[in-house]
Structure 1
Amino acid sequence: MNKHDLRVLKTKQNIHSALTNLLKKKPLTHIKVTELCKEANINRGTFYFHYQEVGDVFKEFFEEIMLDLKKSYNEPYYHTDFLNGKTLDPKTVRIFHHIKKYEDFYKIVFSQEVSSEYYYMLFDEIRSFGLENEHAVHQGKLNNYLHSYSANAIIGLIIEWYRHDFQESADEMNVHLVNILKL
């Protein structure tokens, strides 16, 4: 079956949504295939056609979200040869639009009830974006500490937004980020 088949995409989207709903209630390690199937309103055969275990669903969903996050993170780089925080246009910042799109997932990641493993997975991904774009961000040699600092700065903004229940719009958060970069 083609992975771009609309039926497959809808089924996987439904399973991802069901997993998100269950993760709001309990840790990934306590979610069983049976309850995921029930939440997704699919049979076990359908589940096992696509996955071997619940962890595979999480891995796939996390990778999908991180791919979208990477595209959002890189958006300002498509509009300039050299990214300068002092001249950055807030309209080119897309990372907060991504967070809003996957708000339920990020509420789980930053919840105090879940393992810090999710935080570190997110941290490692964002940090890797900086390492990939090192040549575009600054001239000269950057070190691992700077990329870690930058990843935590972005996550810090997201956590603060989370603490305010994502009440501000993504556009308002873009302005906050740009204003911080101008300091």
Structure 2
Amino acid sequence: MSLDRRISKSKRALHDALLLLAEDQPLDKLSVTQIVQQAELNRGTFYKHYDSKEQLLTELIDHVLIELADAFRSPYADLHPFSLKDLTPGHIKIFDHVYEHARFYSAVLNSKVIPGVQERIIDTLKHLAKDVVPSGQMAQTDIVPHLFISYYAHALFGLIKEWVRSDFCYSSSYMSRQLIQILRQQPVGEAPQP
């Protein structure tokens, strides 16, 4: 096994151990010893990569948020130009991402163990939404763009939260279909076109 793969495997084990332990106790109560024992690694391996458990957590969060951004952008990369009517459940990858990182999202949403992360997720979604909200269409309405972006980010995060809290009772493809149906609904108060 190459050195890079060994490093990646060790870091993944430490990330997983931190999340597993965080299900039962706050980060400030966890010790590096508990983390390395759960990961079945030694303290030397931990300190080769991290100065503290907080640095481990920061790396984990940053890694998940980068993957969240990639999953969010996925439909827009495949559709040029982007049109909601062309969007299919197969284009939407955000729910696959959330399911792949189920332990992370469960730890973040089901407890106060990892403070501040929900806000970082919403801020990431707001930043990403700026690239996809049709500004030309907004200019034709009285909707303030940053308010719509905030609404969009919170609504998407709310959908993710509900799914995680339901213990992923629906498949990610079902959630993608639901999101498309929600996005295609007429805005409140707008009459359907004949």
Paired positions, count: 178
- Which residue of structure 2 lines up, in the alignment, with residue 103 of structure 1? 102
Aligned-residue offset at 1:143: 2.9
Cα distance between partner residues in 1 of 2:121 and 2:29: 21
* Residue 20 (structure 1) shift: 1.0
- TM-superposed deviation, 1:116: 5.1
Q: Distance in 2 between matches of 1:91 and 1:175?
A: 9
Question: Aligned in 2, Cα 1:42/1:116: closer, same or farther, shift over 3 Å?
Answer: closer
User: What CA deviation, in whole Å up to 9, does each residue of 1:74-113 have, x standing for no partner?
Assistant: 0110122343334421210000000110011111111144
User: For the residues of structure 2 that align with 1:53 and 1:116, how far apart are their CA atoms?
Assistant: 17
Identity %: 31
Aligned letter for 1:160? E
Aligned counterpart in structure 2 of residue 167 of structure 1, from 149, 169, 172: 169
Kindly indicate whether the alpha-carbon contact (under 8 Å) linking 2:22 and 2:107 is maintained by their aligned counterparts in 1: yes
Mapped to 2, the partners of 1:111 and 1:80 lie a distance apart of 35
2:51 aligned partner: 52
| Aligned equivalent of 1:178 | 180
Is contact 1:161–1:167 with CA below 8 Å preserved after alignment? yes
1:92-147, Cα deviation, whole Å (9 max, x unpaired): 0000000110011111111144355221121111111123x14xx31336632222
Partner of 2:127: 128
Moved more, 93-102 or 154-163: 154-163
| Larger-Rg structure | 2
- Considering only aligned residues, what root-mean-square deviation do their CA atoms show, in Å? 1.9
Mark the runs of 5 or more structure 1 residues left unpaired by the alignment. Answer: none
Whole-Å separation in 2 of the counterparts to 1:31 and 1:125: 27
Residue 155 of structure 1 deviates from its aligned partner by 0.6
